[in-house]
Amino acid sequence: MHPLDCPNWEYENHPQRAVVRLRIAEIISDLASRRIDTLALATDARPQHLRVFRELVPLGFDYYAGHYRGEAFRCLRYYSVGVQGDDRVGAPPGAVGFLMSELSSAIRSNVMALDDNVFLSEKDKLRYIVMLACHVFVQLLTIHPYANGNGHIGRLAVWSIMGRYGYWPYRWPVDPRPPNPPYVQLIMRYRSGEHEPLEMYMLQMLTA
């Protein structure tokens, strides 16, 4: 069980909330200039989660930033999460590490395949890039590996995967999140097997 003295983490009303947008802008700049490796961020964003949120964690719980739920910290080991309206969200804490390792392996293998494939047309390559970015985004949100900040990290993963190939999603904001509707509905439809609406929406985000 989660220890009763472990606080839930909400940062929306934190006095330092404005720092999130600044840190996100720094990370996107670093991605664009290749100071951050795009594959490294997509496969393990914990260093960037720490960078964005370390100033917003509850006092005395620094490890809430930069670590997955289920890791060997007293208040993360049993930290459960959920999203109102979709009970598919929030893997059990004990499964998060394994599921994120599996997702990271899938990202790496798919990115390597895209990197090495010289026979795809640009149109087909873009299609596969968007498919991969959407899959990673929704899978990460479904696992919900962090105590908070999952949406920001999921949206950064999209920037990382698509930007790796020069397709920067300029209309896909990381903070604040994209307009809702249709944002949440597109994610829920994707989880239900309707992939095309989110993929088409993502393509529209490529125009400045």
Location of structure tokens 């609406």 = 197
Q: Where does the pLDDT of residue 3 fall: very low under 50, low under 70, confident under 90, or very high at 90 and above?
A: confident
In this prediction, residue 208 carries a pLDDT of 62
pLDDT in tens, 8-65: 999 999 999 999 999 999 999 999 999 999 999 999 999 999 999 999 999 999 999 9
Residue 105: CB atoms within 10 A of its CB come to 11
- Does the pTM surpass 0.85? The reply is yes
130 closest CA partner among 36, 200, 44: 200
Q: Which fold has domain 19-204?
A: Fic-like fold (1.10.3290)
pLDDT in tens, 134-147: 999 999 999 999 99
Location of structure tokens 């873009």 = 126
Q: Which residue intervals of the chain are DSSP H helices? A: 19-32, 38-43, 46-53, 93-116, 122-143, 150-163, 183-191, 196-204
Query: Where do the structural domains in the chain lie, given as residue ranges?
Result: 19-204
Are 43 and 52 within 8 A, CB to CB? Answer: no
pLDDT in tens, 151-167: 999 999 999 999 999 99
Q: Where does the pLDDT of residue 4 fall: very low under 50, low under 70, confident under 90, or very high at 90 and above?
A: confident
10 closest CA partner among 1, 23, 20: 20
pLDDT in tens, 83-132: 988 999 999 999 999 999 999 999 999 999 999 998 999 999 999 999 99
